[in-house]
Amino acid sequence: MGSNQSNTSKVIGYTSAWVEFEDDWFDQGASRYAYKGTFHGEPHLEGKPCVVKVYKEEWYERMSEYAWKADDRAYCKAHDMARLFNIRYNTSKPIEFVKPEFTQVDTRAAYNFLGFIPFERNVKGKLPGTSDSVSNIIPANATLAVERYLEGDYVKFNNNSGYLAREDIATPAAFSHFTYHESNGTALVCDLQGVRSRAGYKFTDPAVSSSGTQLGFYGSTDLGICGIVKFFKNHRCNELCKGLKKPKITNLSLGERVVLAKIVDNMPSHSASTHTYQLSLSSGVSTRDINRIQNNIRLEAVSEEPV
């Protein structure tokens, strides 16, 4: 062959594990490209598949370390909430979140094996149907998140597209509602996706929308108060939601409510980003008005009125 076309990353999580991953991404989110990879360096991990998520250049240039730290906060919040939920509901199908390990690209793709001459390859570009050089897509020292690969049918559980049985959705839907209740309205863990098995739910990549913290505190999918309002607009409570508090807007004028509805109704439902310019772009509401609403809106977590 003559060339080594692997990207690798260094030590993961203070172990001697490392990963190699492909040159072409297979999926992308708001802030990252996802690649198929393989673990190496530790006997119990050797050869096992993983997913490597490389932060997009525009994100880590603008936000430095912040992008992955925010994702780590989102994981920790989701993990803590899942622990509480599993105890409180004593469920036979506990919820678990896959822990991401954050690391950096060590060697970038495509060095000529004989002589180590940097050898640029054209790989899949940023947009479908385009190509770009590997160093543009995976810059040296790019930050990345490594997660173990989930075996089984990968499903988006917050997506009520109809083919999921009711009981498949009930627990994830109630879990999201529970996180809002348990955090007293300060955080909502949603966008639940992963695998359901006899042993329980394994989720990856949760989105956390927050209120009372700076916008984007939990990363690129933190939609703030607008995200919370949007979730509850679509959410249908089930048996497991009994007694959980819901958000109530207590202070907006009629005009402001109209603007809020416009933002929420036009919010992209998938791979959304908190950046006000994107919310602005999709809703036609100016970024100034969006910021004003995000900063002024008062959302109280209240108990359901007795029927």
> Is 241 an interacting residue with respect to Zn ion (CB under 5 A)?
yes
Q: How far is the CB of 79 from Zn ion (least distance, A)?
A: 21
- Of 11 and 244, which CB lies nearer to Zn ion in the complex structure? 244
> Is 74 an interacting residue with respect to Zn ion (CB under 5 A)?
no
Q: Where are the alpha helices (DSSP H) in the chain?
A: 57-63, 66-89, 134-137, 166-182, 224-234, 254-265, 276-283, 287-296
Q: How far is the CB of 215 from Zn ion (least distance, A)?
A: 25
Q: Which stretch binds Zn ion (CB under 5 A): 45-53, 155-163, 235-243, 299-307?
A: 235-243
Which single residue is written with the structure tokens 């990363």?
Answer: 219
Q: How far is the CB of 10 from Zn ion (least distance, A)?
A: 43
> Is 108 an interacting residue with respect to Zn ion (CB under 5 A)?
no
> Is 237 an interacting residue with respect to Zn ion (CB under 5 A)?
yes
Q: Characterise 271 by phi-psi region: left (phi > 0), alpha (psi -120 to 50), beta (else).
A: left
Sequence-separated contacts (24+) of 268-272 with Cβ below 8 Å: 271/28, 271/29, 271/30, 271/221, 272/30, 272/221, 272/223, 272/227
Rounded to 5°, the CA angle 194-232-250 comes to 145
DSSP state of 118: B
> Is 164 an interacting residue with respect to Zn ion (CB under 5 A)?
no
Collapse the DSSP code of 279 into the 3-class scheme (helix H, G, I; strand E, B; otherwise coil) and give the result.
helix
Q: How far is the CB of 214 from Zn ion (least distance, A)?
A: 27
DSSP state of 106: E
- Of 241 and 272, which CB lies nearer to Zn ion in the complex structure? 241
DSSP per-residue codes, 226-275: HHHHHHHHH----GGGTT--EEEE-S--HHHHHHHHHHHHTS-SSS----
Q: Kindly determine how many residues on this chain lie close enough to bind Zn ion according to the rule CB under 5 A.
A: 3
Q: How far is the CB of 237 from Zn ion (least distance, A)?
A: 3
- Of 150 and 240, which CB lies nearer to Zn ion in the complex structure? 240
Question: Residues 6 or more apart from 58 whose CB is under 8 A from it?
Answer: none
- Of 225 and 241, which CB lies nearer to Zn ion in the complex structure? 241
> Is 188 an interacting residue with respect to Zn ion (CB under 5 A)?
no
| CB-closest chain residue to Zn ion | 241
- Of 53 and 246, which CB lies nearer to Zn ion in the complex structure? 246
Q: How far is the CB of 158 from Zn ion (least distance, A)?
A: 12
- Of 103 and 179, which CB lies nearer to Zn ion in the complex structure? 179
Alpha-carbon distance of 40 to 122, in angstroms, equals 26
Q: 299, 211 in Cβ contact below 8 A?
A: yes
Q: Which stretch binds Zn ion (CB under 5 A): 5-13, 24-32, 65-73, 229-237?
A: 229-237
> Is 53 an interacting residue with respect to Zn ion (CB under 5 A)?
no
> Is 240 an interacting residue with respect to Zn ion (CB under 5 A)?
no
- Of 172 and 216, which CB lies nearer to Zn ion in the complex structure? 172
Two tokens, residue 62 = 């603008």
* Per-residue binding letters, 166-185, with Zn ion (x by CB under 5 A): -----------x--------
Q: How far is the CB of 198 from Zn ion (least distance, A)?
A: 25
Q: Are strands 18-21 and 111-112 parallel, antiparallel or unpaired?
A: unpaired
CB atoms within 10 A of CB 296: 12
Q: How far is the CB of 238 from Zn ion (least distance, A)?
A: 7
Q: Which residues are at the interface with Zn ion (CB under 5 A)?
A: 177, 237, 241
